[in-house]
Chain A
């Protein structure tokens, strides 16, 4: 084989290798990223309430959300979203189903609210406040095994309004969005995000000591 042929062969091998590296890197980015929403949500210190991602009210109005907003820097500068919607308050609850099922309870108000459950591959469930029953929206995110257990333990006479969602992966996050249609509603939107509770459902019988 001539030297030029060898060189062309090496270039060809390099190009094929480049294609493989390209594909592998693109597929690995979501797994390795430390700046994605899931990694950031898992670093949240907010207990039982969504971590404020995009607050829409001005700095001093954040005090209207009692307690939780106090530790956050006021204003909108804290958000990491690339093009945040200035009139939509966003909150995140990270879940790890190894700790137990995740219960998200929201009370609907005058503002439009939507909940979306994201796994690593994308959102697999979304619901708006129009699906609420008597002003309450209860989602329970569980694994297949936890779902079967919940079905087996369900009381026949008790009517449950929980929406049970089987998650494909154990880790993910729930996004709460509340839309403030008018600037005067922005403090209420922030407060509505903070009013959602995200708690780990304690198992009725302590089958597992984990948690």
Chain B
């Protein structure tokens, strides 16, 4: 089969040697593509015509290995690709520590050395955008206000994306449920801002760039039923003034 294919190609090859010449300027009838796309297509077609079977097999292997490795690296770099439950501006990750976690979450945990919270311990919620969907920016002031789902303890932490930048550790990176100043009805407002603020001030961890919030609920009953969380049960993130 492979021999006959190679023979066919060998016979086909001299049959149309003049084909590439008139195609360059006129835009061939079979390829009405825009400029760069057509050039790539031409290149591929020329390559395909000249390639032997061995070259094609090597090409397929290289394509498979390269593309497979690149996509695997991309999918397991940074945060969990899926498995989250959206609650307002927050994303809850109830299953990333359980044996039922998807393979991507396990790979992400292994690559980062993360020790995820399990259902019996608590639950992690992250937010990288405010309630209107804009990305959290270190130059802006945000109000994180409301209540948290029931939990024995919770902590709210702010961090930049990626690894921590070298330098002095900021004096405050988060609040715990005990430290917070509350209104008389139990609600609270945490002001996330680069400037000093009254009340619960959480300083921005970096001068510019995207930041994200992590809300960790410890010993919480909602971990087993994160899908039932209502957006009024998690703190709202409202954007205030932004420095230019």
Contacts and interface: CB of A to CB of B under 8 A. Distances in A.
A123 B44 contact: no
B153 A21 contact: no
A30 interface: yes
Interface string A3-20: 110110111011111111
B218 interface: yes
Given A83-B214, A87-B155, A18 B64 contact: yes
Interface string B10-53: 00110000000000000000000000000000001101110101
Contacts of A53: 115
B113 interface: yes
Contact of A21 (B69, B101, B152, B163): B69
B107 to A, nearest CB: 4
Contacts, number: 207
Nearest to B159: A83
A121 B76 contact: no
- Give the 3 A-B CB pairs with smallest separation, nearest first: A21-B68, A17-B64, A126-B120
A10 B54 CA distance: 11
A43 to B, nearest CB: 12
A40 B110 CA distance: 11
B61 to A, nearest CB: 7
11 contacts: A3-B51, A6-B9, A16-B64, A17-B60, A29-B111, A30-B107, A37-B115, A53-B115, A81-B115, A83-B159, A85-B157
B167 to A, nearest CB: 11
Given A7-B51, A112-B219, A1 B106 contact: no
Contacts of B56: 6-7, 9-10
Interface stretch (A60-68, A142-150, A174-182): A174-182
Interface stretch (B131-139, B173-181, B183-191, B193-201): B173-181
Contacts of B159: 83
B165 interface: no
